[in-house]
Amino acid sequence: MVILSLNCGSSSAKYQVYDWDNKDVLAVGVVERIGLEYSTIEHKATGKEDFTDKFTCPTHKEAVELIIKMITDSKYGVIKSVDEIGAVGHRVLHGGELFKKSALVDDEVVEKLKTVIPLGPLHMPANIGGIEAARKVMPNVPHAIVLDTAWHQTMPPEAYMYAVPYEWYEKYNVRRYGFHGTSHLYCAKRAALLLGKENKDTNVIICHIGNGASVCAVKNGVCIDTSMGLTPLEGLVMGTRSGDMDPAIMPYIMNHTGMSAKDMDTALNKKSGLLGICGMSDRRDVADAAEKGDKKAQLAVDMECHRIKKYIGAYAALLGRVDAIVFTAGVGEMSPLIREGSTEGLENFGIKLDKKKNAICRCRNAEFCISADDSPVKIFVIPTDEELVMTEDAYALMNGTYDVHTNFHYSFEDASYVNKGRQRALPANLAKNPALKDIMALPKR
């Protein structure tokens, strides 16, 4: 039996096929440019030749049909028929206050998700469209929603409420929700394992740094605060998002330029962040430009690290005791520059980075410890696995064994857990960079 994971964006549909019996990823891929003149698909199946081509996908329905065609293809596919799919897990951006954990999909659930669209107007229509399309293509398969916001539902009111008129919360659901929940969940539980602690005894600060980025404070194994808010715009300096700013900037600029509310929303989400400061959003390009003396690129790097460091300090104050700092996601896993800049000067907090360990840590196929040997607070680099969380939630929901994460046990919480795909890829990384072996972090319980 396999579990299919789908992550549908406004013009894309990412997918993963997971062999539940052998606990291994069979295929991954993405359909892009949905709704445009032509769409593209990139399909990678373990042990088979990669496939790339152009098709016509006016809607997500055709995209899902294309995905099913690819994974059952005689040459490039990994299963013989759709009947081998036991469940489908759908990533959903926003659950509002309606969904505090993953759930099986029925017509009522879809209607409830539609009421949350105003909280995520850029993402939710595509998420829902993908669910509806997949249910039509696979009507006899259980479908589950896995929500970015669910992990953060343990935040106390003093953390999730804004100091605005209370009726905004009552009438319009204005509050902090948080995002990247599946990533924070995975990393929190892996960090506890690496520390040799039970989840309920673990305090960590997780820095999910990608094009979108957020920090999460985890106390006694649950989220107590996070940097993103009502939407993914708040918090850190990101690839194209502004993060924290004075709200008065918006009417000030709108009055001077005549920008509409929609124009401002676009500017803050798609034209700000690193892109707004230096004209580049890819951290590799920014780092290269900064190294060559580009002052705006260096400013962008400094601003990003400054903001991350502020959140680490603030969350250290909230937690009281910090067991570990975790870096994850594309930039967190692969950028020594950002990790060093974000932890520099935090020695008084017991956070001591080993610069040599950090410099060699560029690998997404193992977990690493890059803190100094005498650092009271560990610094881990943990490659995230959001798709595995989606897969396990979907299977458990189908099987009737699912519960909130504090009452549920994931396979990756076991010391014996192995990501087979990463295990296969790691030897090549070690051959190229043997020093990686010396900084690998291994489970302690």
Point out the residues that are catalytic. Answer: 148
The whole-angstrom separation of Cα 90 and Cα 365 is 25
**φ and ψ of 139, to 5 deg:** -70, -20
Residue 99: exposure state from Cβ atoms within 10 A (0-12, 13-18, ≥19): buried
Q: Are 161 and 176 in contact (CB under 8 A)?
A: yes
Q: Are 52 and 32 in contact (CB under 8 A)?
A: no
For residue 357, give the H/E element and its range: helix 355-360
Which of the 8 DSSP states describes residue 216? E
The whole-angstrom separation of Cα 125 and Cα 41 is 21
Q: Are 98 and 74 in contact (CB under 8 A)?
A: no
The whole-angstrom separation of Cα 151 and Cα 183 is 9
Nearest-5° Cα angle at 22, 20 to 28: 65
Q: Are 280 and 289 in contact (CB under 8 A)?
A: yes
- The label of the residue with tokens 């907090």 reads 349
Buried/exposed code over 29-61 (b: 16+ C-beta within 10 A; e: otherwise): bbbbbbeeeebbbebebeeeeebeeebebeebb
Nearest-5° Cα angle at 320, 319 to 322: 70
Q: What residues does 91 pair with on adjacent strands?
A: 146
The whole-angstrom separation of Cα 66 and Cα 130 is 13
Residue 163: exposure state from Cβ atoms within 10 A (0-12, 13-18, ≥19): exposed
Q: What residues does 351 pair with on adjacent strands?
A: 377
